[in-house]
Structure 1
Amino acid sequence: MKKTVSVVILLAIGAFAAYSFFNGNMVTGIVSLVVLILAGLYVLGSSDDEKEDEKKTLNVDENSAHSFVGSEGKPDFEQAKKIREEMLKNVKQDDVSLEINAAAGLMLNQDYEGSKRAYESIIIKYPQSKGECIGQIGVAEFFLGNYEKALENYIEAKNNGEDNNMTEDNIWEVCELLHKKSGSSKAVEQYLSLYPAGRYIKKANKLIS
């Protein structure tokens, strides 16, 4: 029974990762893949009742997953590209999705400037996609090391209707990094002003206390 439930959970995580890639959301897609891999390893390692009793729940640390694409390190783009290609093989896409995925492909090829230009072009052609595209431009700026610009883009994405959970994760990540690099509490205070009841409020208050 537990194994069946675990498989259902894995399928749900995989579906979410596919949905994220389909919509061009690289960070969420890659983080979802990390969670999927960790969850899969747990399920494979729990092949008998004794092991299942020893470990009844799987707790994936959000910082470990997010670090796969965060800070100043680089994610495993090659692996992400392979998995993304498989996920998109049999997915029917409209014109907007095709262009967004092309821009996302440039991101995975680490052509960040090219990806930014592609997303900027999409905004002009499809203004309704502005929030999503601005958020991904922020991701490109993040990987380029332009953390202040990344933060500006993330906030603009939030103000243009991009997924609130995603923007909060991105905004907190870059605010925390800016705090570590400068020692200033300005960025963390900015996060608190944007998300006074946010998921990272305890960490934020600890940093500025």
Structure 2
Amino acid sequence: MGLLKLLFGKKENTLNDLDKKNDEFIAKNPVAKDDENEMMRNASKLMTSGKFQESLALFKTLSEKYPNNKGLYESQVGAAYYFLGAYENAVDYYISSMKNGGDKSMMDDNIWEAAEAYSKLDSHTNDGSVNPKKLIEKYLEIFPNGSYSKKAKSILEK
């Protein structure tokens, strides 16, 4: 099992839990396999320790430098954006991740999570200039029969 799947495969973990798991994994596997693995370890440690901007930059570098794993790294760029509250950017990277081989089921979950969080933002204006449901609409465009399509449709009907 890879480090990123171990860390980010389950939603019920807190960042603190993930940080501890990250430390345990690295303690059990102290030598990185190669430069890519070392960069990925550093990026995931930054993510789990709450240094999202730094993690985002390193995962972007990984996605450019190692195109064979672009989908994986773009999903983590999306996660960093999610934690920063930049939900539209997160969704864009999750979509790109899918196009580049990222796990479709995980992106279903991630895009929904970002869309739902965006719809609840207090910063939406009352004058209609910002559509708080636009990412939910985008979710349904991408996953018309997705895991959260019923919930998405019920939100849009309100």
Interval of TM-score (by shorter of Structure 1 and Structure 2): 0.7 to 0.9
Task: Give the match for residue 205 of structure 1.
Answer: 153
Question: Would you identify which runs of 4 or more consecutive aligned residues in structure 1 move more than 6 Å?
Answer: none
Whole-angstrom distance in 2 between the partners of 1:149 and 1:203: 22
Does 1:23 find its partner at 2:10?
Answer: no
- Does the CA contact (< 8 Å) of 1:24 and 1:100 recur in 2? no
Going from structure 1 to structure 2, the CA distance change for 1:164 and 1:133 (only over 3 Å counts) comes to: same
The correspondence for 1:94, drawn from 18, 33, 52, is 33
Question: What is the TM-score of this pair, normalised by structure 2?
Answer: 0.81
Is the Cα–Cα contact under 8 Å of residues 15 and 50 in structure 2 kept in the other structure?
Answer: no
Q: TM-score, length-normalised on structure 1?
A: 0.63
Root-mean-square deviation (Å)? 2.1
Q: What percentage of aligned pairs have identical amino acids?
A: 30
Answering whether residue 136 of structure 2 is matched by residue 196 of structure 1, we say no
Whether 1:139 and 2:105 are equivalent positions in the alignment is no
Cα 1:190–1:25, aligned 2, differ >3 Å: closer, same or farther? farther
Q: Which has the larger radius of gyration?
A: 1
Partner of 1:39: none
Which of the numbers 101, 104, 107 marks the counterpart of 1:161?
A: 101
User: 1:133: how far off?
Assistant: 1.0
Structure 2 unaligned runs (5+)?
125-130
Q: Secondary structure at the match of 1:193?
A: helix
Q: How many equivalent pairs are there?
A: 147
Equivalent residue letter for 1:27? F
Deviation of the 1:24 alpha carbon: 6.1
CA distance in 2, matches of 1:127, 1:190: 26
Kept in 2: contact 1:25–1:104 (CA 8 A): no
Distance 1:122 1:85 in 2: 21
Aligned partner of residue 85 in structure 2, secondary structure: coil
Q: Secondary structure at the match of 2:40?
A: helix
State whether residues 103 and 118 of structure 1, in contact with CA within 8 Å, keep that contact through their aligned partners in structure 2: yes
Deviation for aligned residue 1:28 = 2.2
**Structure with more helix by fraction:** 1
